[in-house]
Chains A and B, each alone.
Chain A
Amino acid sequence: MTIKEKQDELISDFSFMENWMDKYEHIIQLGKELPLIDEKYKTPDHLIKGCQSQVWLHTDMQDGKLIFTADSDAVITKGLVSLMITVFSGHTPKEIAESEIYFIDAIGLSSHLSPTRSNGLLSMLKQVKLYAIAYEAKSQSQKNGKEL
């Protein structure tokens, strides 16, 4: 599935839930399915700045695609990280860097989450994109290096 298709699927999943307690239940469930970060990466430089609760994020390159792992000390946050990772994991840095992210607004997360949470979510999105851009730049310079 493309990043766009994954977002559309998430939006459709959430649209079936009538109230916010149900949506939270779903978010918490997604948190339980989060691919957990290796304990050795739970270091201060893997912490995302701008989150009230602690969030660690790590990325690995496998066959040209980025795989994200993460963890948080708060369960709802874990669910939100999980949403993010579901959308981005398994895509190339180029796809991630160029993607347009609309599921956060479409699900209503930006208006229903407490401001500290939605700021945290945006920090997370920014960090994922930064990782992707960094990998993309690295691979570009390697390519250029070979061609020369």
Chain B
Amino acid sequence: MQHVPDITVPAIDVEKIRKDFPLLQEKVYGLPLVYLDNAATTQKPQIVLDTLMHYYIHLNSNVHRGVHHLSQEATAAYENSRKTIASFLNARKPEEIIFTKGTTDSINLVAYSFGRGEIKPGDVVLVSAMEHHSNIVPWQMMCEDRGAELKVIPMDENGELIMSAFTELLTDKVKIIAVTYVSNSLGTVNPVRDIIAQAHARNIPVLLDAAQAVQHMPVDVQELDVDFLVFSGHKIYGPTGTGVLYGKEEWLDRLPPYQGGGDMIKTVTFAKTIYNVLPYKFEAGTPDISGAIALEAAIKYVQQIGVENIQAWEEQLVEYAAQQLQQIEGLRFIGNAKHRSGAISFLVDDIHPYDLGELLDKQGIAIRTGHHCAEPVMGFFCIPGTVRASFAMYTTFEDIDRLVAGIKKAAAMLR
């Protein structure tokens, strides 16, 4: 075991937390698993698994329809989840929380509805150079459809947005700005308050992709004054296929619906359909009821540990990892932002990231290799991909030590 910096957060008992996650007890290739691919998806605590099972054993019924007991119980549980998520984000009202399939689905919803309602030919949509494909392609499709233009806020070699260029891009043509709070490929935390303030000075709404933020730091939508904020359930210890769109009530009221179907309507005739009120207007069809309820369990679990405590713990992990990785000969960081969270991307000499990833895998260490669904970022750095280690509340200093030892061993074989 190498030198461990002073741990100033006794508030988080990592060993106890790890016991709550069954998958962390698994072995791969006969070795204890080191799971450092949390930016792709997190493992699930037992309470989330129990909640899923409990729903199907005791509550399963469709929501918002039946008068019978079970349907009322299921509806209450589903709507309670909405309330918990609203309070987690400090939204004004639960109606500002829309359940979706995930971040990608949430962004597609906003891009489609905003495009239909607000975008005219010649308008501009701003995204940043470090977006995940899911915060590029939906806007690109909408722009193509509406005759609008997609422009990009550039970044520098450290993986930080060039804010002077952002200010210059702000014209009256810009109708919406969609940026990531935390970069999935570089770990950069963007100056979102500054972005939102400058945008609002020109009455431009902002969508924040918080897929890599909500599990790592406190997020308060009122304090941020953000117009739309999206995240995925499965990256915050919840089930896959769940996600959230937060939108300010006035925006969600103003935008046309996304998909048509059951639940999103008030009355239907063949001549005209009157849409339902928020949040149902944006939730066509039977939702992922069990998923939404289990997502509540995940968020309550996070709240119980305390997001601030998680943040403090993970900041130490990132700092320790950066410090230890730096000592590996030939290792260079891809993205070196002053303020970063959750993930570290790197390459070692000219070793192909797939080679390194494969040899780490055989040592029981799960990391991500490749372009991380952010090909423009890889293009900017002229690399085929990176090796990315990403952290969670259950990551330990020992995990990082094994990663560092694993990289050294793999690099010695590959050089």
* Interface residues, chain A, with chain B CB atoms under 8 Å away: 20-21, 24-25, 28, 52-53, 73-77, 113-114, 116-117
Contact of A28 among B354, B357, B361, B414 (CB under 8 A): B414
Assess the B355–A74 pair: CB atoms within 8 A: yes
Contact of B358 among A25, A73, A117 (CB under 8 A): A117
Does chain A have a CB within 8 A of B363? yes
Q: Which residues of B contact A21 (CB under 8 A)?
A: 359, 362-363, 409, 413
Assess the B413–A73 pair: CB atoms within 8 A: no
Assess the B352–A24 pair: CB atoms within 8 A: no
- Kindly supply a per-residue 1/0 record for chain B positions 355-391, scoring 1 wherever the CB is within 8 Å of any chain A CB and 0 otherwise: 1011101110000000000000000000010000000
Q: Which residues of B contact A25 (CB under 8 A)?
A: 413
Decide yes or no: A28 and B352 within 8 Å by CB, A20-B29, A76-B358, A114-B361 being known contacts. no
Q: Which residues of A contact B355 (CB under 8 A)?
A: 74-77
Shortest B369–chain A CB gap in Å is: 9
Q: Which residues of B contact A116 (CB under 8 A)?
A: 354
Shortest B328–chain A CB gap in Å is: 17
Q: What are 23 A-to-B residue pairs whose CB atoms are below 8 Å?
A: A20-B29, A20-B362, A21-B359, A21-B362, A21-B413, A24-B359, A24-B362, A25-B413, A28-B413, A53-B354, A74-B354, A75-B351, A75-B352, A75-B355, A76-B352, A76-B354, A76-B414, A77-B352, A77-B355, A114-B354, A114-B357, A117-B354, A117-B358
Which are the 8 A-B pairs with shortest beta-carbon distances?
A74-B352, A20-B362, A76-B355, A75-B414, A75-B355, A74-B355, A74-B354, A53-B354
Q: Which residues of A contact B351 (CB under 8 A)?
A: 75
Cα distance, A116 to B384, chains bound together (Å): 15
Q: Which residues of B contact A53 (CB under 8 A)?
A: 352, 354, 384
Smallest Cβ-Cβ distance to B361: which chain A residue: A114
Cα distance, A28 to B413, chains bound together (Å): 8
Q: Which residues of A contact B29 (CB under 8 A)?
A: 20
Q: 8 Å CB contacts to A: which residues of B221-245?
A: none
Q: Which residues of B contact A74 (CB under 8 A)?
A: 352, 354-355
- The number of chain B residues touching the other chain, given as a range, is 10 to 19
Q: Which residues of B contact A52 (CB under 8 A)?
A: 354
Shortest B362–chain A CB gap in Å is: 5
Q: Which residues of A contact B384 (CB under 8 A)?
A: 53, 73
Smallest Cβ-Cβ distance to B385: which chain A residue: A52
Q: Which residues of B contact A77 (CB under 8 A)?
A: 352, 354-355
Shortest B37–chain A CB gap in Å is: 13
Cα distance, A53 to B361, chains bound together (Å): 17
Cα distance, A73 to B350, chains bound together (Å): 9
Q: A28-B413, A114-B357 are in contact. List 19 more A-B contacts (CB 8 A).
A: A25-B413, A52-B354, A53-B354, A53-B384, A73-B352, A74-B354, A74-B355, A75-B355, A75-B414, A76-B352, A76-B355, A76-B358, A77-B354, A77-B355, A113-B358, A114-B358, A114-B361, A117-B354, A117-B358
Shortest B357–chain A CB gap in Å is: 8
Cα distance, A76 to B369, chains bound together (Å): 15
Shortest B103–chain A CB gap in Å is: 24
Q: 8 Å CB contacts to A: which residues of B324-354?
A: 351-352, 354
Q: Which residues of B contact A114 (CB under 8 A)?
A: 354, 357-358, 361
Cα distance, A114 to B358, chains bound together (Å): 7
Shortest B14–chain A CB gap in Å is: 28
Smallest Cβ-Cβ distance to B362: which chain A residue: A20
Cα distance, A114 to B359, chains bound together (Å): 11
Q: Which residues of A contact B414 (CB under 8 A)?
A: 28, 75-76
Cα distance, A76 to B409, chains bound together (Å): 15
Cα distance, A99 to B413, chains bound together (Å): 33
Q: Which residues of A contact B363 (CB under 8 A)?
A: 21
Interface centre among A52, A53, A74 (most CB of B within 10 A): A74
Shortest B294–chain A CB gap in Å is: 29
Shortest A25–chain B CB gap in Å is: 6
Q: 8 Å CB contacts to A: which residues of B386-415?
A: 409, 413-414
Shortest A86–chain B CB gap in Å is: 20
Smallest Cβ-Cβ distance to B29: which chain A residue: A20
Shortest B406–chain A CB gap in Å is: 10
Q: Which residues of B contact A75 (CB under 8 A)?
A: 351-352, 355, 414
Q: Which residues of B contact A24 (CB under 8 A)?
A: 358-359, 362, 413
Cα distance, A39 to B255, chains bound together (Å): 57
Cα distance, A73 to B351, chains bound together (Å): 9
Smallest Cβ-Cβ distance to B352: which chain A residue: A74
Shortest B370–chain A CB gap in Å is: 8
Q: Which residues of A contact B409 (CB under 8 A)?
A: 21
Interface centre among B351, B354, B357, B362 (most CB of A within 10 A): B354
Cα distance, A75 to B348, chains bound together (Å): 13
Shortest A32–chain B CB gap in Å is: 11
Smallest Cβ-Cβ distance to B30: which chain A residue: A19
Smallest Cβ-Cβ distance to A52: which chain B residue: B354
Shortest A33–chain B CB gap in Å is: 15
Shortest A35–chain B CB gap in Å is: 20
Interface centre among B351, B357, B384 (most CB of A within 10 A): B384
Interface centre among B351, B355, B362, B413 (most CB of A within 10 A): B355
